[in-house]
Structure 1
Amino acid sequence: MKIRKLPLALLAASATFTAAHVNAAGFQLVEHSASGLGRSFAGEAAIADNAAVMARNPAAMSMFDTIAVSGALSYIAPDVYVRGNTGVDSIDQALTNNDVVPGAAVPAGYFIQPLNDKWAWGVGMFSNFGLSTDYPEDYAAGALAGQTELITLNLNPNVSYRINDQFSIGAGVNAVYGTAKLVRNFGTGGPFPPSGTAASLEGDGWGFGWNIGGMWEVNEDHRFGISYRSKVDLKFKGDYHSDIPEGLSDNPYGTGGQTIGGELTLNLPDIFEVSGYNRLNDAFAVHYSYVWTGWSTFQEIDATSEGIGSVLNKQEQFSNSYRVSFGGTWYLNPAWELRAGMAFDQSPSRTHKTISIPDNDRYNYGIGFTYHLSEKGSIDTGFTYIQGKEGAFNEEGVEFVSKGDAYIAAIQYNHSF
């Protein structure tokens, strides 16, 4: 059988990026630090209690007078289900999966070095977007579900400049590397075996963007941060194959098991954040954030083939969304700090839901602490429970209902030199 040597797209990612987005709206990741997790990431662009602040505001590097490093590891344990909602028990059971999203570890690392009393530089390695979902091979709606995985790593060098005692600015470059894997099965009720591969795609690629930030230090107890991270067009290239025979008039994209090349551009949204930190007395501080994410850039996933054009187009129709959070920190003594926070996260798919992205609004409740081992080193831990709302939707004429909760734990080590 002749192999068509055309970059037939990541049909892929197209068929959909799903829902390991139980941690943040869409498929956004906010797990940049254990300290932030414990306060539901309230005040992240302003607090600057360790080097992880770089992930939210490069201007905050100006607050460090010695080299600082931080390394964090978060583990996300999701509890996500998708169930049939047709009213027919046998159909609803066939469409039900109570374990849609597997657990995942999310690492992050940061380095900040002051150059003098004005300039500082640093680099962060973290992820802003990612997901993983896994439906059984014999799932009834296999062509809509299957296995989906997206992993991204943001390499983010930054510089900051202190204008005066109160104002600082910062900027950086984002080099985002991503890998994607998508497997779609035939499902039941068709002419092919349910566990056969309707579409399989694996690929990787790079995208580039930028970020800026500002810091206003009213005094040592009150400060405000603002930051913006640009959108990134992540360009994937990879391998695609399908067990569908070539030449079928009603499905011209089968390859008969042969592998061909593919490409797809995934539009990752821009992010804007405003944060505040107010230490009310020696023992207590409050902090808060408003985060806006420009999800309207993610309207569709369009897989293309040279000479053929679009081979698969899936409408996502995301809308811009916001996240608001509020938290408090208790400074118990020189060795211990306790923190807590809560957040509301608005879904970007509130007007257009799919089984691949069964996203709903959610609430976050976080607690955590810092233990100072010495003047140079400290350990942070954080724990968050995410409570998602249940939502119903229709796709391809089939009724579904979905809900996503999650438990997230993180640990972090900070050191200054």
Structure 2
Amino acid sequence: MNYKKVEKRLALSNKTFTTSTLILTVIGFSNGILANGLTVNEQSASGAGTAYAGRSSSALDASTIYGNPAGLTKLKRSEVSGGVAVFDVKNDISDAQGGAPGTNKGDFVPMAPVPFGYLSTPISEDLSVGLGLYVPFGLVNDSESTFQGRYQGSYSDVKVVTLQPTIAYRINQYVSIGGGPTINRFDAELQNDLATGAFNAGQDTTIKIDGTDTALGYNLGLLVDLNPATSWGITYHSKVNYHLKGHTTVSDSPGFLGLNGKYDAKLDITLPESVDTSITHHFNERWTGYLGATWTRWSRIQQIETETNVSGAGNAGSLESLSEPLNWRDTWSAAVGGSYQLTPQWVLRAGYAYDPSPSHNADRSVRLPVGNRKSVTLGAGYSPNPNVTIDVAYGYVWESTASVNKANASGVQPEYSAKFDNSANGLVTQMTYRF
């Protein structure tokens, strides 16, 4: 790292330092939340067993509120269903290079539970209502304090929690429709280090960002029984516009700058819409096949606009804004699965899914260094009586090698490049009670 260049840049003015670090750090936040690695599929253990291949064309339980709200018309009794998913993620880092020394231990994703819960009830033979609570997006990582790439991102905790009231109506014996608004709570906390030690008694500057917003969206579904053995479904998850408000907190900055403190910050983010479609076919009383695909309109996200209220020493509360291109591309993911009714009480499931990353190497972030994703799942459902079903699913996920190449754009964020090989073991459990 060229410390003379950094010292000259910092000495120009407090405003130069603030604009080139605080705002670029906020933009690092936006890079970290827009990729397949943020999308959380675990809203159901019964669906996870087949890699969610038939999510929009089968209504196994009340979790159809997320998979296809029209499926509520298939549930003839009231249901309460809920569960949790946990993942053990492994990150292998190789060929790491950068402008600062440090370690590359990897494995920086802590184990975190992902809960979900649903309630549904039929109002009449053709009309049903329900309520779902689930996590459609999430990201957690916490690297070691000496991580070589810490200047591009050292800590992330991003989650979206959604509450979805739902109504479904059966138009005739073949066609059902359903939908409802989504109330989405977005919470984010991130941290970056800045390489200011050369003129700060060896002390790096720390920048922490937090932001929250609650925004509305909607989900719509159509379910069609093509014949007694085959059903087709399609589900639309709308885009959601977030206008996050929070703070940027600066600590341990060089004393001559006087930048330590808390600043108001704003960040506008749109999580794009997606369309999920699938076919479910019952080959016989025991065997069922599922085939599905999901399109996500990531190309809607071409750039991110950020604003930071720069109110440190030498700045009278000016509002700085910056936009950065992201160059996302639309993606198609696909899944195939099957189930086997072993006994009246036991059903066995398996599936395979492929989910590509929307980002190119030039856009990939240290916070979310994901590649094209493959997953294999196994699952089982056990119904000791007609009122209770317990579902369990296991999944192994692995990704193609993902390259990260981040430049020193601000002067105090040393460049970092590396290759990431990611994999994970996941377990999802769920219990459904009918009454």
| Residue 155 of structure 1, aligned match among 157, 163, 185 | 163
Q: Larger Cα Rg: Structure 1 or Structure 2?
A: 2
What secondary structure sits across from 2:299 in the alignment? Answer: helix
User: 1:321-400 alignment to 2 at 5 Å?
Assistant: 321-350=331-360, 352-396=363-407, 398-400=416-418
Deviates more, 1:146-155 or 1:133-142: 133-142
| Residue 259 of structure 2, aligned match among 245, 256, 263 | 256
Report what 1:198 is aligned to.
206
Measure the CA separation in 2 of the matches of 1:411 and 1:20. Answer: 26
Deviation for aligned residue 1:81: 3.4
Deviation for aligned residue 1:398: 3.7
What secondary structure sits across from 1:143 in the alignment? Answer: helix
Report what 2:12 is aligned to.
none
What secondary structure sits across from 1:65 in the alignment? Answer: coil
Query: What amino acid is the match of 2:291?
Result: Y
| Residue 301 of structure 1, aligned match among 304, 307, 310 | 304
User: 1:16-95 alignment to 2 at 5 Å?
Assistant: 16=29, 25-86=36-97, 94=102
Deviation for aligned residue 1:293: 1.1
**1:275-300 deviations in Å (ceiling 9; x for gaps):** 11001011101001100111122333
Report what 1:406 is aligned to.
424
Measure the CA separation in 2 of the matches of 1:92 and 1:191. Answer: 15
Higher helix share: 2
Distance change in 2, residues 1:159/1:223 (3 Å): same
Measure the CA separation in 1 of the matches of 2:179 and 2:226. Answer: 21
**1:338-392 deviations in Å (ceiling 9; x for gaps):** 0000011111113532323312001100001000021111100000000111122
CA contact (8 A) 2:37 2:139 kept: no
Consecutive unaligned residues of structure 2, counting only runs of 5 or more, are 1-20, 310-316, 408-414
| Residue 274 of structure 2, aligned match among 271, 275, 282 | 271
Distance change in 2, residues 1:10/1:268 (3 Å): farther
Residue 104 (structure 1) aligned with residue 112 (structure 2): yes
% identical aligned pairs:
26
Distance change in 2, residues 1:118/1:311 (3 Å): same
Deviation for aligned residue 1:218: 2.4
Distance change in 2, residues 1:220/1:190 (3 Å): farther
Residue 415 (structure 1) aligned with residue 428 (structure 2): no
CA contact (8 A) 1:236 1:264 kept: yes
Deviation for aligned residue 1:195: 6.4
| Residue 134 of structure 1, aligned match among 128, 142, 155 | 142
Deviation for aligned residue 1:328: 0.5
Measure the CA separation in 2 of the matches of 1:314 and 1:82. Answer: 27
Report what 2:190 is aligned to.
182
Measure the CA separation in 2 of the matches of 1:295 and 1:195. Answer: 39
CA contact (8 A) 1:18 1:132 kept: no
What secondary structure sits across from 2:152 in the alignment? Answer: coil
CA contact (8 A) 1:143 1:198 kept: no
Distance change in 2, residues 1:47/1:171 (3 Å): same
What is the aligned-residue RMSD (CA, Å)? Answer: 2.7
Distance change in 2, residues 1:173/1:195 (3 Å): farther
Query: What amino acid is the match of 1:212?
Result: L
What secondary structure sits across from 1:136 in the alignment? Answer: coil
CA contact (8 A) 1:18 1:131 kept: no
CA contact (8 A) 1:270 1:294 kept: yes
Deviates more, 1:10-19 or 1:75-84: 10-19
Distance change in 2, residues 1:264/1:194 (3 Å): farther
Measure the CA separation in 2 of the matches of 1:285 and 1:146. Answer: 45
Deviation for aligned residue 1:231: 0.6
Deviates more, 1:324-333 or 1:99-108: 99-108
Measure the CA separation in 2 of the matches of 1:54 and 1:94. Answer: 46
Deviation for aligned residue 1:313: 4.5
Deviates more, 1:60-69 or 1:182-191: 182-191
Measure the CA separation in 2 of the matches of 1:13 and 1:61. Answer: 41
Consecutive unaligned residues of structure 1, counting only runs of 5 or more, are 1-7, 249-254
Report what 2:124 is aligned to.
116
**Length-normalised TM-score, structure 2:** 0.85
What secondary structure sits across from 1:15 in the alignment? Answer: helix
Q: How many residues align?
A: 401
**1:138-167 deviations in Å (ceiling 9; x for gaps):** 333322021011011011111111110000
What secondary structure sits across from 2:27 in the alignment? Answer: helix
**Length-normalised TM-score, structure 1:** 0.88
Report what 1:252 is aligned to.
none
Measure the CA separation in 2 of the matches of 1:245 and 1:92. Answer: 19
Measure the CA separation in 1 of the matches of 2:109 and 2:272. Answer: 23
What secondary structure sits across from 2:149 in the alignment? Answer: coil
